[in-house]
Each structure stands twice: as C-alpha cells, then as structure tokens.
A and B are shown apart, each in its own frame.
Chain A
Amino acid sequence: MHNHTPQPGQERFVAPAIDTELPTAVDVDTSHPPESQWKQAWKSLRSNWIFWFSAILLLLVLVVVCFPTLFTSVDPRSADLSNSLGKPQPGHIFGFDRQGYDVFARTIHGARASVIIGLLTTLIVTIVGLLTGAIAGFFGGWVDTIISRAADIFFAIPLLLAAIVGLSALNNVWPNRGYWGGVSAVVIALAVFGWPQITRIARGAVMEIKNLEFVDAARSLGASKWRNLFTHIIPNALPPVIVTATVSLGVYIVAEATLSFLGIGLPPSVVSWGNDIAAAQPQVRSGDNLHVLFFPAGALAMTVLSFMLLGDAVRDALDPKARK
C-alpha cells in the first residue's frame, strides 16, 4: 500500500502507474495486428445459437432448391383427379390438393422459384443500391442531388403497387414467358422499385465514414478518390447494408407470394409456394382441407423466418455496441 500523502512538488496524490488497472503502452500486444471487424463479427456469430439455427435451416432450403429430387421422386406436375383434396397418408405425407397434385412434391419443388426470386432480387438491389448510395454519399453536390432525387422518385411509389403495374406492363410486352421468363419478370419488377432502400442506407453510412481519420490518412498517403472509395469506405459501409439486405430477402420472398396470390406474379404453370398458396385459398374457405394451405405457407414462413433471424444475428455480430 502506498502512502497517500502528496510528495514534495505535487499538489495531490497520484497513484503510480503500476497500481492502476490501465495497461501501459508497453504492455499492448503488438506481435499480431488487431483483428478485423469481420473476424470479430464471425467470432461473436459463432457463439450465437440463433445464427446456427437459421443457417442450418437455410442450408437445408438451399439443398432443396438445388436438388429437389433428393427429397421426392413424385412429379409436381402430374395430377390425378381421383386424389383431389386427399388427406395426408403414408407415401403422400402432405396429402393432395384440388387438382390431385402431391402437396409434398409441390412444396419441395416450389422452393426453387421463391428462393431464387428472393436471392436474385436482393443481389441486384444490393449491388445497385450500394454503388449509387456510395457514389452519392462520397461525391455529394449535384451527383448526390441527382441520385437522391431519382431514388426518391422510385421510393415514392409503394413497392407492391409499383410491382403490380410493372408486371402488368411486362405481361403485355412479354406474354407466355415460361419458367425462367416468369421468374425474371418478377425479379425485374421488384428490383426496379426496390433499390432506393439500399441506396439510402449506403449513402448515410458512406457520409458518416468518409470524414473519419483513417480515410484522411489514406488520402494523405496519396490514395486516389476511387481507391479510397472502394478499398476504405465501401467495405466499412457494408455492415448496415448487409443487415438490411438479409431482412429484405425475406420481404421479397413474401412479395413474390403476394404478387402470385394476386394472380399477376408467376404464371400458373410455375410451381411456387405463392402459386400454391393462392390456389389453396378457395379450398379452405369452410375450414376443411387445411393441409392444402398449411404446407406451402408453412414452408414459405419458415424460410422467411430463417432469413429474418439470420439478419438479426448478423446485425448483433456486426454492431460492436450489441456485442458482449
């Protein structure tokens, strides 16, 4: 224990460095560089059971999307009317719908259209939104004005209504477009009106980051504007964008189902959860035959839920304040 009386020449007692818990500069471990935010995020993600729960579910969905025949050998497009609205039974565990399609086979094969639309739309929206938002936030001035007003214009029309109008326009110029045509049309309609959401978030993040010290440091070391933008600013603006993108992936899957429910999304020939839910609706009016509606709707809800949970887990991992 030290003597707490002030030493000569000292106004008041100052504890020697060795008594304080503050580490001195000498003690800082410099043998390896500090961990990147991605590595730290991964560490915190690894210990989160919600992440593993949603990741495993999504992995399962992905396998179903890529290899549906691993799970069922029944053709989702072969119907036998004598099975119409049959209850679940051995061999056909989800039963049959009104047309006599096997609901299990339809649910398995329906994953592909829904998930691909969600993934593709999110990919396009994220790339376009990130680039436009980063450029607007970084350069400011008239570039920012033009991009922001353009984003405002597309954002001002409600997404669902805009997608309906867009798809009905596409129906006229591009009728009978088959499976991939049908999928691309929905992706186009959703992406054209979906990008401003990401643009706004990316722009905000970039405007915050571009004035930080490490960007100044890079600039004073001679990094060009574009190099600074792509190697220093955009990577650091990614976390909020990734979180929004993960959550909106689920939103786009729901949007596809809603559009198909309204009869304007995917053509009826495409096996998809949205189409099956829409077709099931009239069969369940009286409260019977719930299995026709329950399984495609349940599969869709589980998938969307997994993306939402993944988004939550990623946000917690990427936000240092939320991390323990």
Chain B
Amino acid sequence: MWRYIVRRLLQTIPVILGATLLIYALVFLQPGDPIVALFGEKPVSEAARAQLEAQYNLDKPFIVQWLLFLKGALVGDFGTSYSGQPVSDLIARSLPVTFQLAFMAMIIEAILGVVAGFYAGLRRGHIFDSTMLVVSLVVIAIPIFVLGFALQLIFGVQLQWVPPTVGSATTFTNLLLPAVVLGLVSFAYVLRLTRTSVIENLTADHVRTARAHGVPDGVVNRRHVLRNSLIPVVTFLGADLGALMAGAVVTEGIFNINGIGNLAYQAILRGENPTVVSVVTIMVLIYVVASLLVDLLYAALDPRIRYA
C-alpha cells in the first residue's frame, strides 16, 4: 500500500511540472509588453522599466522565470500581480468561497444523482426512470449559463426566494442556488452513471446468489448492488472536482461571486499573467490531489482491489 502511494505520488510530479510549464508558456510566451500595458498611455522611463522587469523576473529567460515561479509556489509565494497585490492574498481571499461553492455543488450532485440513479436503475423502463433520463439529457444539452440564468430569473427575480446575486455575502443560503446550478450538469452524469452500473450489477452473480440465500430485497439492493455501483461514481466525482472549479468561472460570473473562477477570468481578460498561472496551478494541484484520493478510496470500496 505504501509503495503504491509513493509511486503514485512520484507520478504526479511530471504532471504538475508539465501542466504548469504548459500554462506558463501559453501565458508568458505571447507577444506584447506587460510593462507597457501597466503604464497605459504614459511613457515608460528606462529606470522604471528595468526595476519592474527585475521585480517580475521578466529580464530572465523564460525557463528561469518558470523555475523561480515554482520555487516560490512551493512555499506558498505566488509573487505579485501587476496591480501590486500579492497573488497569494488574492487566492486566499477567493479560494475558500469557491471551495464552499464546489463542496456544496458536489454534495448536491452526489446525493441527488446517486439516489435518483439508484431508483431509476432498480425500476428500469418505468415512468420515474424515463423522466430522470429525459431530465438528465435536457440538463446536459442546455448550456449551463442559460440554465443558471433561467433559475436566477425564476427564483431570484420573480419569486425572490433567494437574492439574484451573491456579492460578498457568501452565506449558505445565498450560495445554495449557485451551487445547484454548478452541480446540475454533473448531477446528470452521476445519475446516468449510477443508473447504468446499478442495471449492470442487478444481474451480477453475487447479487443472484445473495437473493437465492434469501437475503431481503432491500438489503441486497443496498449492500450488494448500490455499494458496487458506487465505484465508477467515485471515480467520476474525483475527476469532477477540477471541472467544478473551472465551471465556477461561469457560475461565479452569473451570480457575481468573488471566487477563484471569477479571479481567473478577470485576470485573463486583464492580462494579469502572474495571477493566471497561479490560479491554474492551484486548480491542477486540486485535480491531482483529488484523483490521488480517488485511487486510494477504491481500495476501501472494492475489496478486490489491493495495492501491492
């Protein structure tokens, strides 16, 4: 088990290095002078330019810039944004909000998706199953910003159950609607995934054996069908954390939440390169850690999987 964890951890190193290098190249190897952009219409004096280039490491070769960034990131120092704020502060301010939002979205999608998928799979072809399949397809087919906008209009503007935009008041109730919107697409995938594997497991040998032994239906369904069906769902949820963080770009924009998605989006639009690379690095780290946790969770869910 420990050998597996170590090997798996070592595997993540090239992924983190590669992904940060990739994004660093995309952001910093563009034509255009960030220092000119910083000064706008005003002329840039030679001294100011030299000082700024030294401050942002722009005078060094690209690879050195990247290595210096990594060195700082290792101790949680992501440098300074062009507007003069420490990037770590910006992230520390916005990451908890997005975490709260993504966590709520994940709870919502996991519970609703598994429960609905489980019952749909048990009653394959019945009215509940068909309804859920149609609902899931519609949710996937309509772009999330249209759905989010429609829900905002109905619950926020017309019914006034929740405030239409969140702003800085990130309470549980204020974040509920954005979390539902963020989790909707993944809810559809979780539902379909659970349903498919429940249907598959219903005809499995061990389930038939359990029934033949006279185990009550409810127990068989919960203990033997549902538990086995959760394995692909857990894989999906692990990989989905990264998608949720990225999906926050849209959701946070619609509901005006000052989270990391909004931070990334604004930074990209304004050419705040240090902020962009830092936020993407954080998201890559979250993805890598989540998929590592999923691999380890496997062993707990599926006794057949043992890591040597």
Contacts and interface: CB of A to CB of B under 8 A. Distances in A.
Interface of A: 149-150, 152-154, 156-162, 164-166, 168-169, 172-173, 250-251, 254, 257-258, 261-264, 274, 277, 281, 284-287, 293, 297, 300-302, 304-305, 308-309, 321
Most chain B CB inside 10 Å of its own CB: which residue of A159, A164, A251, A300 = A164
A169 B284 contact: no
A123 B247 CA distance: 24
A301 B23 contact: no
A285 B254 CA distance: 11
Contacts of B15: 149, 152-153, 156
A284 B268 CA distance: 27
Most chain B CB inside 10 Å of its own CB: which residue of A159, A281, A297 = A297
Interface string B1-41: 00000000001001110110011001100111000000000
Nearest to A251: B140
A309 B137 contact: yes
B143 A300 contact: yes
Nearest to A304: B141
B250 A287 contact: no
Nearest to A302: B141
Nearest to A164: B268
Q: Interface majority SS on A: helix, strand, loop or mixed? A: helix
B171 interface: no
A164 B264 CA distance: 10
A263 B149 CA distance: 16
Q: Interface majority SS on B: helix, strand, loop or mixed? A: helix
A262 B253 contact: yes
Contacts of B288: 156
A160 B157 contact: no
B298 to A, nearest CB: 16
Contacts of A304: 140-142
B27 A261 contact: no
A158 B242 contact: yes
A300 B145 CA distance: 13
A196 B209 CA distance: 40
Nearest to B185: A254
16 contacts: A156-B284, A158-B246, A160-B243, A161-B245, A161-B264, A164-B249, A166-B26, A169-B26, A173-B30, A251-B140, A254-B141, A262-B249, A262-B265, A284-B153, A286-B157, A287-B157
B176 interface: no
Contacts of B200: 321
A308 B137 contact: yes
A273 to B, nearest CB: 9
Contacts of B250: 160, 258, 261-262
